[in-house]
Amino acid sequence: MTTTENSVGSDFARLSHRISAAGLMNRRPGYYTARIAVVTGLFAAGWVAFALLGNSWWQLAVAAFMAVMFGQIALLSHDLAHKQVFRRRRATEVAGMVAGNLGIGMSYGWWMDKHTRHHANPNHEELDPDVDPDILVWSKDQARASRGVPRFIGRYQAFLFFPLLTLEGLNLHWSGIRAVRKPGLRHRKAEAALLAGHFVLYFSALFTVLSPGMALLFFAVHQGLWGVYMGSIFAPNHKGMPTLTGRTELDFLRKQVLTSRNVRGGVVTDVALGGLNYQIEHHLFPSMPSPHLRRAQPIVQAYCAELGLPYLQTSLVESYRQALTHLHEAGAPLRKRS
């Protein structure tokens, strides 16, 4: 550490100084302009191919491709929500609603609120909405207290995890619909109108171009694979990491590092996971442009080593193994009861 770093500030403040000195918090307008253009172009190309193919079995390949594109647009919405793209709030909100609500039928405002609460208290059983025991249980205490669906599914949730992800796309749609039906959502009317526009355009396209049976098959493949893709992006990040309860004495740096997991990989992994494979860096610096996360990773890892702070980084396959193992162990009290 430099003399300045040693003299003032918390552990996180000293790390933040290093990151800022490396220019990693600077915006990347050129990168995001290119990324938005490529994703939008591929998204449009997918729907053009859909229209040209007509009522063909090849539409199932289009459905798989569009599942990936929905995921990529969701990742762009994620970067928008973290103010990585635009400086101004208005531009961020408009772009987020166009991409999220109109583009993929997911409420931008609902998701931003949920994700903000997750970032503030990752893996906290009472405060992080991502570990609510609504379907799955994330700890043995949650398993013991579970009732209804979580109690039934929790016994074998590790085996059911990926099959259940086929429903995640529908869950995202339904959560958005519920959000716009009740007061409290910022820009509620605009979000409702854009969501309605998405569903009208989507189902009109399916049932105009395809026969009813093929339209339903396209819908099932598209929404199912999109859900699996979304779950596969977010599952490696925190699942299987320590969960917190009650009042924690951990400072910001340790709370974020100890509950997060990085995934090793190259450019393909970075693109497929939208940079969220650098989950530790993202949680420490959520407004950092995603292309800078790779450069921040060795700085953060070295700093954690200086502090003696555990820093977990695994392969993608290993991250899933750890997550599924944790789910199986969390459900153990329910298997003992059966």
241 close to 123: Cβ distance less than 8 angstroms: yes
Q: Three-class SS of residue 313?
A: strand
Kindly report, residue by residue over 238-249, the tens digit of the pLDDT. Answer: 998 988 988 888
What's the CA gap between 227 and 265, in Å, rounded? 22
Q: Which parts of the chain have pLDDT scores under 70?
A: 1-9, 337-338
pLDDT at position 4: 39
Q: Three-class SS of residue 137?
A: coil
Instruction: Give me 170's structure tokens.
Output: 């529908």
pLDDT at position 336: 81
pLDDT at position 337: 58
Hey, what long-range contacts does 60-64 have (CB within 8 A, 24 or more apart)? 60/217, 60/218, 60/221, 62/218, 63/218, 63/221, 63/222, 63/225, 64/221, 64/222, 64/225
Q: 60, 105, 68, 83: which is closest to 271 by C-alpha?
A: 68
pLDDT at position 3: 35
* 294: amino acid identity, one letter: R
Q: Give 245's DSSP letter.
A: -
137 close to 115: Cβ distance less than 8 angstroms: no
Residues 6+ apart with CB under 8 A from 206: 215, 218, 219
- To the nearest 10°, report the CA torsion of 153, 159, 165, 167: -50
What's the CA gap between 85 and 294, in Å, rounded? 17
**How far is CA 226 from each of CA 29, 92, 134, rounded to the nearest angstrom?**
28, 24, 21
* 150: amino acid identity, one letter: P
Residues 6+ apart with CB under 8 A from 298: none
Instruction: Give me 182's structure tokens.
Output: 């009740």
